Structure 1
Amino acid sequence: MHIFVKGAAIAFFSLALAACSSNPDDGFTGKETVDVLYSQAQTAMTNGNFAKAAKTLEQMDSRFPFGAYKDQVQLDLIYAYYKQDSTADALANIDKFLKLNPTHPNSDYVIYMRGLVNMQADNYFLHNMLNIDRTDRDPQYAQDAFKDFNRLLRSYPNSKYAADAQQRMQYLKDRLASYAIRVAEYYIKIDAWSAAAVRAQTVLETYSDTPYVERGLEIMAQAYQELGQTKMRQHVLEVMKANFPANELVANNG
């Protein structure tokens, strides 16, 4: 009797596992081979059906975690999640892959994808489509994307993704500099002059190759005037004169 009960328990447990691994609603029977699943995933990717591709790849990851395609499944999953705007899933898979495969030959691609995922998360498709300016939104994803691309350039300067990463970093610099100016202008509105000057100064120190430097200098000059910091204001005006001689502040204080 004891043996029968134990055997019954094992049989029940096996049936439970089978039920978990194959839900009739997901289109999988649980009998597909790893090659069949991978072929289905690739077809879905080719056809642009990234939701189906992700589900198929997840099946592979669950049923064949140590199979011949294990690394490629993870790489494809990252891309499928990215194409679906599934930021959390993509970042989780990226970080897991890099932790488990620190010297993988495709590490540069994975780091590059991390930058793309974060950059995508920073963008609001609807706002872009309607031409709504939302540069005042939280820049955390933009900052993370900048760090990701910078990591790629430091670790893999000869990567085939390096040139594109560098261009994206310049875009992100402009985005982050614009945000800093917005914050500084907000501080001006509430008469927080010291905070405005500090925030504007970050543009000069961190984003000196962006179009927002001139506005940063203007804010600093205004803030120092309000704070009674005559020498610091004069220094700012000298910098402006050397770099932006046509600026109205320079002309009015010549």
Structure 2
Amino acid sequence: MIYTKHSTSTILIIIMCFTPFLCHCKNHTNTTNDDLHKQYLSAKCKLKNKNYKTAIKKLETLNKKYPFNQYSNQIYLDLIYAYYKSMDFSLAHVTINDFLQQNPNHPNLDYPIYISGLINMELDNHTIHKLSFIKQQSKYNPIYARQAFHDFSKLIHQYPNSQYTPDAYKRLIYLKNRIADYELAIIKYYNKKQAYITVINRTEDMLRYFSDTKAAHHALWYMHTAYQKLHLTHQTNQVMKIIIFNKNKIINTLKQT
């Protein structure tokens, strides 16, 4: 194709016409990024100052106003924390699940998993406080405690080097005893009902999952009684041997400390 002087002039005119538009787009992009940055810093400031409700509003607005922006993942993580601290556990769990599904390879997945464990522990405690007529914690079904146990176990196994792992270990010890105490309460109930087969079966489950808890040691006595009531001498003697062994083990441990 041969370009004439006339066609060249036409091209120059077109370029000149579009140049202001391109410059305007560039300036608009910079303005948008600056606005996004300022608003995000403002939200972070509110979060740092524990003004969680205002922080949530600002973060939610940013998500709607600038979807898929450069801060999107961090905004999700900040919202998870803000919802948790403002005790909006339902929204916190929804945001955690969304984040985990949308970012399966994110380097900071340990954080939402850890927060999920904290939330479930809080839900366990809050439910017990609401049911004030229950005098003993062990009599309340630890639905949320089990979920928290699952969360912290997942964190420890998948992210052993996480900064949250040491605290997760401590919480697992508490949760293990919390769940074991509930299982012991059930064993006591069935013992009163003289449902000795059930006592034996549930004690076996306790020994499988919570053998290192005080509740499990107490459960052994109910298992021993159950075998006695069923006139199963061999099993009765076997359980007594385990009880004596555990007792000696505990005594030796105390001597060493």
Q: Provide the C-alpha distance between the structure 2 equivalents of 1:144 and 1:46, rounded to a whole number of angstroms.
A: 29
Matches within 5 A, 1:1-80: 33-80=35-82
After TM superposition, the runs of 4+ consecutive aligned structure 1 residues lying more than 3 A away are 125-128, 130-133
Do 2:145 and 2:179's aligned partners in 1 also have CA atoms closer than 8 Å?
yes
Question: Which amino acid is the alignment partner of residue 148 of structure 2?
Answer: A
> Could you say which residue in structure 1 is the equivalent of 2:195?
192
Question: Which amino acid is the alignment partner of residue 178 of structure 1?
Answer: D
> Could you say which residue in structure 2 is the equivalent of 1:89?
91
Deviations 1:217-246 (Å, cap 9, x if unpaired)? 011111222223222121111111112269
Q: Provide the C-alpha distance between the structure 1 equivalents of 2:97 and 2:72, rounded to a whole number of angstroms.
A: 16
> Could you say which residue in structure 2 is the equivalent of 1:105?
107
**1:125, distance to aligned residue in structure 2 (A):** 8.2
3-state SS of paired residue (1:138): coil
Question: Which amino acid is the alignment partner of residue 181 of structure 2?
Answer: S
Q: Provide the C-alpha distance between the structure 2 equivalents of 1:124 and 1:135, rounded to a whole number of angstroms.
A: 14
> Could you say which residue in structure 2 is the equivalent of 1:172?
175
> Could you say which residue in structure 2 is the equivalent of 1:24?
none
Q: Provide the C-alpha distance between the structure 2 equivalents of 1:180 and 1:189, rounded to a whole number of angstroms.
A: 15
Question: Which of the pair has more CA radius of gyration?
Answer: 2
Q: Percent identity?
A: 38
> Could you say which residue in structure 1 is the equivalent of 2:120?
118
Q: Provide the C-alpha distance between the structure 2 equivalents of 1:172 and 1:101, rounded to a whole number of angstroms.
A: 28
Deviations 1:59-108 (Å, cap 9, x if unpaired)? 22222221121111100111111112222211111111111111111111
Note closer, same or farther for the CA distance 1:241–1:108 as it changes in structure 2 (3 Å cut): same
3-state SS of paired residue (2:138): coil
Unaligned stretches of 5+ in structure 1? 1-31, 247-254
Note closer, same or farther for the CA distance 1:132–1:40 as it changes in structure 2 (3 Å cut): farther
Do 2:184 and 2:215's aligned partners in 1 also have CA atoms closer than 8 Å?
yes
Matches within 5 A, 1:207-218: 207-218=210-221
**1:189, distance to aligned residue in structure 2 (A):** 2.2
Matches within 5 A, 1:115-194: 115-124=117-126, 127=129, 133-194=136-197
Note closer, same or farther for the CA distance 1:236–1:79 as it changes in structure 2 (3 Å cut): same
**1:124, distance to aligned residue in structure 2 (A):** 2.4
Question: Which amino acid is the alignment partner of residue 75 of structure 1?
Answer: L
3-state SS of paired residue (1:124): helix
Task: Tell me which moved more, 52-61 or 65-74.
Answer: 52-61
Do 1:94 and 1:114's aligned partners in 2 also have CA atoms closer than 8 Å?
yes
Report the number of matched residues.
Answer: 214
Q: Provide the C-alpha distance between the structure 2 equivalents of 1:195 and 1:84, rounded to a whole number of angstroms.
A: 43
Unaligned stretches of 5+ in structure 2? 1-33, 250-257
RMSD after superposition: 2.4
> Could you say which residue in structure 1 is the equivalent of 2:223?
220
Do 1:78 and 1:93's aligned partners in 2 also have CA atoms closer than 8 Å?
yes
Note closer, same or farther for the CA distance 1:43–1:91 as it changes in structure 2 (3 Å cut): same
Report the TM-score, using the length of structure 1 for normalisation.
0.77
Question: Which amino acid is the alignment partner of residue 140 of structure 1?
Answer: I
Q: Provide the C-alpha distance between the structure 2 equivalents of 1:113 and 1:241, rounded to a whole number of angstroms.
A: 41
Do 1:122 and 1:139's aligned partners in 2 also have CA atoms closer than 8 Å?
yes
**1:151, distance to aligned residue in structure 2 (A):** 1.1
Report the TM-score, using the length of structure 2 for normalisation.
0.76
Deviations 1:13-42 (Å, cap 9, x if unpaired)? xxxxxxxxxxxxxxxxxxx94334323322
**1:132, distance to aligned residue in structure 2 (A):** 5.4
